[in-house]
C-alpha cells in the first residue's frame, strides 16, 4: 500500500503567489521612485531658500524660540534650532513635491 504524497502548492496557489509577487514588485518600484524624488527634493534645498522660508513663514512663537535658543546656546537650544530649521526644510520639500517652486 502506497502512501499518498502531498503536492506542494496547487497551480492556483502558484499563480496567486506569482501575481502577488508581480504586484509587490510594481509597488516597490513606485515606492523607490517616490523615495528618490523626495531625496532629490531634499538635496535641492539651498541655504538661501531655507533662511528665506524661516524669515517669511515662521510664526511668532517659532521666531521667539529660535532667538531665545540662539541667545542661550545650550545643547537643548541647539536641538531646538535644528528642529525649527528641519521644519522649514520639510515645508520646502513638501512644496516642491506638490509641484510648487
Q: Which is it for the CA torsion 67, 72, 73, 79, positive or negative?
A: negative
Determine the Cα–Cα distance for residues 67 and 41; give it in Å rounded to an integer: 28
Q: Which residue has the higher pLDDT, 45 or 11?
A: 45
Does one domain contain both 14 and 27? yes
* pTM for the whole structure: 0.73
Does one domain contain both 51 and 99? yes
59: containing domain:
46-101
Tens-digit pLDDT profile for residues 15-52 = 889 999 999 999 999 999 999 999 999 999 999 999 99
Tens-digit pLDDT profile for residues 57-78 = 999 999 999 999 999 999 999 9
Tens-digit pLDDT profile for residues 83-95 = 999 999 999 999 9
Does one domain contain both 89 and 73? yes
Does one domain contain both 95 and 55? yes
Does one domain contain both 53 and 99? yes
Structural domains in the chain (count): 2
Amino acid at each position: 500500500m502506497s502512501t499518498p504524497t502531498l503536492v506542494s502548492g496547487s497551480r492556483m496557489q502558484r499563480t496567486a503567489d506569482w501575481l502577488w509577487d508581480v504586484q509587490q514588485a510594481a509597488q516597490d518600484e513606485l515606492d523607490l521612485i517616490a523615495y528618490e524624488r523626495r531625496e532629490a527634493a531634499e538635496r535641492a534645498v539651498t541655504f538661501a531658500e531655507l533662511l528665506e522660508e524661516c524669515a517669511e513663514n515662521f510664526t511668532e512663537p517659532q521666531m521667539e524660540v529660535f532667538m531665545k535658543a540662539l541667545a542661550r546656546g545650550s545643547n537643548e537650544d541647539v536641538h531646538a534650532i535644528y528642529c525649527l530649521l528641519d521644519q522649514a526644510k520639510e515645508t520646502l520639500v513638501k512644496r516642491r513635491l506638490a509641484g510648487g517652486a
